[in-house]
Amino acid sequence: MHSLTAKLIAQHLDKSASITLHKQLYSAIRQCILESSLVADSRLPASRDLAKALQLSRNTVLSAYEQLQAEGYIYTQRGQGTFVNKTQPRNPQLTQHELTSSLLYSSEVQLSKRGEALLQHASSLPTQWTALMPGAPDVNAFPHILLSRIQSRIARQPKLDQLIYSQHGGSTRLQQVLAHYLASARSVHCEPEQILITEGIHQALDLVTRMLCNPKDNVWLEDPSYWGTRAILRMNDLATHAVKVDDQGLVPPAQGHLPNPRMIFVTPSHQYPLGSVMSLSRRYHLLSLARSLGAWIVEDDYDSAFRFSGTSIPALQGLEADAPVIYIGSFSKTLYPALRLGYMVLPKTIAQQLKTAHCELYHGGHLMLQDAMAEFIQNGHYASHIRRMCKLYAKRRQHLIGLIEQHLGKHALGSYNSNAGLHLILNLASNKDDIAIAQAANEQGILVRALSKYYLHEKRVKGLIVGFANTPVEDMEKAFSQLLQCIDNPQYTEPEH
């Protein structure tokens, strides 16, 4: 009988040179079982016998048997041998009914409610770089070679703790360098241990809201505000309340006007997107209000590095000892977005907890890159790149202002545009459809965005958010004239009543 089985198997062997012997054997036996040439509970030859019959090594046979057993085709009984399993693997040919039985897998896939809401408000642009895009730095101007050289040097002899998951909220060297840098550049006061290195501002916002807010908790958010913050608040099921903004930043609401917040989200150094700088008096007011309400302030200092005149105002974080402020920043605007490096400065009372949570939820890494960044900052490359960019962006900003004033008049410039940041607000008359205008411009590769889309409440102001940082002066004129055509297109203007 055994020799018969061996013959049967031999007939099924596909002796292609490209397939290893044990895989040939495995496939042959599997096929015999699937075709029922070998039936359930029939005994297979002992490995030694089969090896001899097929002129294979015994190890080859053992490997094939092991694989078949792992997959459930065969089983062994101690002292009795190897047998074909009763439970034959079912045929991979599914009935059409099975394939289409559930709507779940059809084109109408059911997303979660939070998922639906996220996609319904999705605001990432399909293109991430062309003329006049707000928030985009000039990524070509970055000294890639300098950073890359430091990285290669580190990668030649990496240390063990650069290769494993981060254990202390990121590279301790970058934490030290950043603590020093943020103290002098932004008047942020902290110990290196309070710094948590993140993948960017989105991850920072996600972490603090998940760790410090329960679903349905009230939070205050500037109106208008960054779409990314709104997306994360929505995903984490918070009740977001819009707070008005004026030329001094967020206007603290009158007592009792809004439900007490668990968190207050602000962009004091350059309100996003309107551009006002929060005044010092307003900052002290906000700190005092947060303390009295028992709320955390989340200070998003996203483009504080670019201020083209005047000194910058100290960050909220550093204005008072132990301020109830979580300070977040990133290198996406100062260097380039795909770098994915950001940081949070955490109050001492929650630093360790949030670092542990970060590890549990996201598992940090990229430590060679973080150490390279520490060296890049320490060597002065970072500060000198920012100085160079400030000069470049100031020129581009002036040029854009000139174009706006020349073609649309001074009143077209948003009144809160402070001399800072990477974009300007261009006002539109209330009968203009800024969304349609932005859409038409986007289709021509002019990546301005519609201001009205950045509001939470109904009193939306019409306008365009126009970036200048990524567009060289020599390209700006053409891009702007294309934009003008979209603005002037009567199709996007409602007739006066």
- Residues numbered 306-345 forming contacts with a second copy, rule: CB under 8 A: 309-311, 313, 319-322, 324, 336-340
Question: How far apart are alpha carbons 333 and 484 in whole angstroms?
Answer: 27
Using alpha carbons, select from 37, 36, 34 the residue that is nearest to residue 11: 37
CB of 473 to a second copy, least distance (A): 19
Interface with a second copy includes 485 (CB under 8 A)?
A: no
Q: Where in 262-281 is the site for a second copy (CB under 8 A)?
A: 277, 279-281
| C-alpha distances out from residue 148 to 145, 199, 384, 422, 481, Å | 5, 19, 17, 26, 38
> Contact with a second copy (CB under 8 A): which of 112, 256, 458, 474?
112
Task: Give the footprint of a second copy on residues 192-211 (CB under 8 A).
Answer: 199-200, 202-203, 206, 210-211
One-letter identity of residue 289: L
Q: First and final CA of the chain: distance in angstroms?
A: 97
Task: Give the Cα separation of 122 and 235 in Å (integer).
Answer: 12
Closer by beta carbon to a second copy, 221 or else 487: 221
16 binding a second copy? (CB under 8 A): no
Stretch that binds a second copy, among 9-17, 354-362, 405-413, 423-431 (CB under 8 A): 354-362
Bridge partners, residue 178, by sequence = none
Name which of 122 and 429 has its Cβ closer to a second copy. 122
- Residue count at the site for a second copy (CB under 8 A)? 127
**28-61 burial, b for 16+ CB within 10 Å, e for fewer?**
bbbbbbeeeebeeeebbbebebbbebbebeeebb
Burial classification of residue 329, based on how many CB atoms lie within 10 Å of its CB (0-12 exposed, 13-18 middle, 19 or more buried): buried
Length of the chain: 497
Position 241 contacts a second copy (CB under 8 A): no
What is the full DSSP assignment across 363-397?
----HHHHHHHHHHHHTTHHHHHHHHHHHHHHHHH
Q: Is 77 in the site for a second copy (CB under 8 A)?
A: no
Q: Tell me which of 8, 12, 21, 23 binds a second copy, using CB under 8 A.
A: 23
Choose which of 21, 46, 185, 235 interacts with a second copy (CB under 8 A).
235
User: Does residue 70 touch a second copy according to CB under 8 A?
Assistant: yes
The answer to whether residue 36 forms part of the interface with a second copy (CB under 8 A) is: no
Per CB under 8 A, 120 contacts a second copy:
no
CB 331 → a second copy: shortest distance, Å?
Answer: 11
Q: Is the dihedral of CA 177, 199, 347, 224 positive or negative?
A: positive
Nearer to a second copy, 99 or 254 (CB): 99
Report the nearest approach of a second copy to the CB of residue 357 (Å).
6
Task: Give, as ranges, the residues between 413 and 472 that touch a second copy (CB under 8 A).
Answer: 418-419
Q: How many CB atoms are located within 10 Å of the residue 130 CB? A: 17
Which lies closer to a second copy via its Cβ, residue 7 or residue 291?
Answer: 291
Q: Which of 5, 47, 63, 229 binds a second copy (CB under 8 A)?
A: 63
231 vs 202: CA distance, rounded Å? 9
